[in-house]
Chains A and B, each alone.
Chain A
Amino acid sequence: MDVVMPRMGETVDEGTVNTWHKDVGDQVAEGEPLVEIGTDKVDTDIPAPVSGTLAEIRVEADQTVPVGTVIAVIQ
């Protein structure tokens, strides 16, 4: 399942990956903090949407990408 950059606010069009809490290959449980996303308003932990293995990290820490960009894949 793709993990996308969420829209953190109605007028916010991009977000920054602050920190990955998991590495590629790690097991993740649904609801567990996966990544911290930052905007000019707030830093927020995004939970894993499903349980599985973190197969890919497509956006590394400190990179800023538009809302909707796939930032990771969980299998």
Chain B
Amino acid sequence: MDEQAALGLYRTMTRIRQFEKRAHDLFLQNLVKGTTHLGTGQEAIAAGVAAAMRADDYTFVTYRGHNHVLARGTEMTPVMAELLGRQNGLMRGKGGSMHLLDVSRGVLGSYAIIGAQLVIANGTAWSAQYRGSGQVTVCFFGDGATNIGAFHEALNLAAVWGLPVVFVCENNQYMEYTAIETVTAVKRPAADRAPAYGLPSAVVDGNDVEAVYEAATAAIDRAREGGGPSLIEAITYRHGGHSRADPGKYRPADEVAEWLAKDPIPAYRGVLISRGVDEEVLDQIDAEAKAAVDLATEEAKAGPEPDLEMAFTNVWHDGGWTWRN
């Protein structure tokens, strides 16, 4: 990988880390409306996969989706403003943290219903296949979704129709408060099951951004060239709790410490320095990320709260709210 591309991966991860840190702070100040699920610790997956995608490809994400929206290039301010429930938010303040969507960048939604996005992702993949557009759909989901029926239905249909879709499981080891291994018969909840539906699968270190990028490139290229669907299971760990102020105390302290030591961002920083990248260049990227988050926070806070009348806008496709049957 050339140095500019590598620095791009580092920049994306750093921006996400700083954004999530601020989101947590703002949540504790009661400025984030509703709930929030942070992707801190899982940045390498979002950054590595997004770097392997074409600008017009589609992304589907879960309620833990800030990472992926930012990685696809959506500006920080509308994302931050959405978390704060302001009119200058991505969804005009009507969606919140769990419902980020940016059609202009192919991000066709964040889904709070576990597993829902897998079957819907098949829809855009089918559309691309029908139109011959060469677009690939990438669908992210968590380890817990692999024990939901929609996971199995989606993989089966994608294989039967040879759809250009890549399913990416972010296995952070916990389905909410439950360790996935305690409720799942196989060791790799996604990758071990994909072959049963005829999908090739790969297991990758989800904290190694270049490993993720390489696995994603192979899977996306395969889908684009008509090779059909495949699945990647990226092994990772969320640094914090499941949501809100969840302290995550159901996780053993030594396990948490072990994974904090595998933090993808310092690890990649070390890799880049060992290749001869000047530390000052990385410090500059860190500083720019912090400045960008500061600016986004100020711009988001300056946005007005939604007007009451906005409850009656954007309900149906035509922008209105009246059911016309």
The chain A residues found within 8 Å of chain B, CB to CB, are 4, 6-10, 37, 42-47, 49, 67-68
Chain A residues near B34 (CB-CB < 8 A): 10
Q: Offer 6 A-B interface pairs, CB within 8 angstroms, sorted by A.
A: A6-B245, A7-B30, A37-B245, A42-B245, A44-B246, A44-B247
From DSSP, what is the main secondary structure of chain B's interface residues? loop
Chain B residues near A49 (CB-CB < 8 A): 25, 28-29
Chain B residues near A6 (CB-CB < 8 A): 27-30, 245
Nearest neighbor of A30 in chain B, beta-carbon distance = B25
Q: How many angstroms from the CA of A9 to the CA of B242 in the assembled complex? A: 12
Q: How many angstroms from the CA of A1 to the CA of B302 in the assembled complex? A: 19
Per CB-CB distance, the 4 closest pairs between chain A and chain B, nearest first, are: A44-B247, A6-B28, A44-B245, A8-B245
The smallest beta-carbon distance between B121 and chain A, in angstroms, is 28
Chain A residues near B244 (CB-CB < 8 A): 7-9
Q: How many angstroms from the CA of A48 to the CA of B34 in the assembled complex? A: 22
Chain A residues near B25 (CB-CB < 8 A): 49
Chain B residues near A7 (CB-CB < 8 A): 30, 244
The smallest beta-carbon distance between B286 and chain A, in angstroms, is 15
User: Are B247's CB and A43's CB within 8 A?
Assistant: yes
The smallest beta-carbon distance between A72 and chain B, in angstroms, is 12
Interface assignment of B314: CB less than 8 Å from any CB of chain A: no
Q: Which of B28, B35, B246 contacts A46 (CB 8 A)?
A: B28
The smallest beta-carbon distance between A59 and chain B, in angstroms, is 15
Q: How many angstroms from the CA of A9 to the CA of B27 in the assembled complex? A: 11
Q: How many angstroms from the CA of A7 to the CA of B252 in the assembled complex? A: 26
Q: Given A4-B30, A49-B29, A68-B30, do A42 and B246 touch, yes or no (CB 8 Å)?
A: yes
The smallest beta-carbon distance between B32 and chain A, in angstroms, is 9
Nearest neighbor of A31 in chain B, beta-carbon distance = B21
User: Are B247's CB and A10's CB within 8 A?
Assistant: no
The smallest beta-carbon distance between A34 and chain B, in angstroms, is 10
Most B CB atoms within 10 A — which of A44, A45, A47? A44
Chain A residues near B246 (CB-CB < 8 A): 42, 44
Chain A residues near B245 (CB-CB < 8 A): 6, 8, 37, 42, 44, 46
The smallest beta-carbon distance between A68 and chain B, in angstroms, is 5
Chain B residues near A46 (CB-CB < 8 A): 28, 245
